[in-house]
Amino acid sequence: MHTSSFSISVPAQTAGKTVEEALRSEWKFGKKQIHAWRMNKAIDLNGTLTEWRTVLSPGDLLTIRLEEEEKPSYLPDPIDLSILYEDEHLLIANKPPHIDTHPNQPDASGTLANGVVHYLRQKGKTGYAQPIHRLDRDTTGTIIFAKHAAVKPLLDHALEQRSIKRTYWAHVHGDVSHSNGTIDQPIGNDRHHNSRKRISPTGQKAITHFRKIQFNQNQQTSWLELQLDTGRTHQIRVHLSSIGHPLAGDTLYGGKKTIHFPFQALHAVKISFTHPFTAQNIVIETPDPVKPGRFYKQTRK
C-alpha cells in the first residue's frame, strides 16, 4: 500500500467548529470514513496529531493521510491535455473530440482519463483520477476529475444534488423559432437500436432549457445555449432531435455532417460549483474545444 495525503485550509466560516464537527457537517464526509480516520489516527492539525474535540481557527491546516493502492485509477497514457483548473483535490480538463471520457475495460487506454493519470504520475502523484461526470465521445468541453478518494463522494453528491452547474453550446439544423424554451420529455431506451435513446412515456424524467444565441443564415443552423435539470444519457441530443432541430453533425439522431460540422456540434462551455473544502465559487469557462473547428470560431453576440 502507498500512503498519500491531502490538506484542507480551514475557511473563516468553519472556524469555531471542532475537527469532528467540521468533517461531518461542513465537509460532509461519511460516518464510516470519519471513523476510519479516527481509528487510524490519520488527521494532523498544523502538523501535529490532534484531539478531535479541538476547535478550529481560520487558516488552520488539516492534513489527512489516505491509504490508496499503488496502481493508478487507469493505465497512464501520454495524451496531450488542456488543464483549465487544478488544485490539490481536483482538476478540470477540456476534453477534445473523438476521445472517450474513460475506458470501459481496465486494461484499455487512449481516453481522457488515461491522459489525466499519466499527467498526475509525471507530477509524482499516485495516479488516482476519477471523472465525476462524462461527455460523449465527440462532445467537447469541461470535465471534473477527483484527485483523491476522499473528495470523490463529495463531488458525486454535489452532482446528484445538481449543485454542479453545466452550460453547453450547441449548433442545430434549422432556425429555432423561439428565443428560449424548455423541453420536458422523458427519455428511455430505443428497443430497435442498442446505442440510441428516445422519447418514451415510461422513460426517466428529463428537462433541458435552451436559449437561442443566433441564427446563421449561410449554414442554416442555430446556435443555442443549454442548461440541464437532469443528466440523462444523450439528453441534449435526444431532446433537440425531438423538436426537429438535431445537432449538426450528429448522424445518430438525424443530424448531417457538413464541412463546418464534421462531428456533433456540442460543447460543455462552462462549469460552476462550490468547492467542497474552500467553499469558493469555482467558475470555469472554455469557449473553444482543444482543437477548435470553424463552427466555434464565432463570437458571442
Distant-in-sequence, close-in-space partners of 129: CB < 8 Å, separation ≥ 6 = 72, 73, 74, 91, 113, 116, 117, 120, 145, 146, 147
175 is catalytic: no
CA distance 281 to 67: 29
Give, as one character, the DSSP assignment of residue 13: G
* Amino acid found at 161: Q
Please identify which of the residues 60, 100, 136, 250 carries the catalytic annotation: 136
DSSP per-residue codes, 151-208: THHHHHHHHHTT-SEEEEEEEEES--SSSEEEEE--EEE-TT-TT-EEE-TTSB--EE
Residue owning grid cell 446563421: 216
The three grid cell numbers given for residue 2, joined into one nine-digit string: 502507498
Of 85, 84, 86, 80, the closest CA to residue 99 belongs to: 80
Cα R_g (the chain), whole angstroms: 22
Alpha helices by DSSP H, listed for 19-161, are: 19-21, 31-39, 112-122, 152-160
CA distances from 39 to 35, 59, 117 (A): 6, 25, 30
* Amino acid found at 269: V
CA distance 142 to 133: 10
Residue owning grid cell 423561439: 178
The residues carrying an active-site annotation are 136
